[in-house]
A = this chain, B = another copy of it.
Amino acid sequence: MLDDLDRRLLESLIKDSRTSLKELAQQVGLSSPSVAERLRRLEDRGVIRAFTVEIDPQALGYTLQAIVRIRPLPGKLHIVQKLIEEIPEFGECDKVTGDDCFVARLFVRSIGDLDKLLDRIADKAETSTAIIKAQPIRRRPPPLGATASSKP
């Protein structure tokens, strides 16, 4: 799926996506046109979804994060989902199996803000909120290594 060169390119780009083609090229031992071509293909194949920037919420004043589990009241599922999508403070939301329909991450500046935001969905869903005290693992990609699950 990915060869060793692709993997090394991705590793470098995960660390710094603004690395120049030339430098990537020397890191993996190719010419820069080859690297450009490989990156283009990784994008085409959808392996690279985007080159982006990681922003520190703290630095923007979002000193608090919470994980919110959301159980919409009967018949309110779609309204709730739409509501969540429209609130930009939700930084992530997954629809999951089990009692909790959604699990979402919320960025807020204060407990007051948290309360205000949750109030907006309180009449359409039950929520349980857990404040994040620490982040042992910050968002990271899955392992790139050995894509050998089908090979015997």
A interface residues, Cβ below 8 angstroms from B: 1-2, 10, 13-18, 45-62, 65-67, 81, 84-85, 88-98, 100, 102-104, 107, 109-110, 113, 128, 130-144, 147, 149
For A58, what are the chain B residues with a Cβ–Cβ distance below 8 Å?
46
What would 19 A/B residue contacts be, using CB atoms closer than 8 Å?
Answer: A1-B61, A16-B51, A17-B52, A18-B51, A48-B54, A49-B54, A51-B52, A51-B53, A51-B54, A55-B144, A60-B142, A66-B96, A84-B136, A88-B143, A89-B143, A93-B137, A94-B136, A95-B132, A95-B134
**Stoichiometry, copies per complex:** 2
Given the interface contacts A89-B142, A137-B85, does A132 sit within 8 Å of B60 by beta carbon? Answer: no
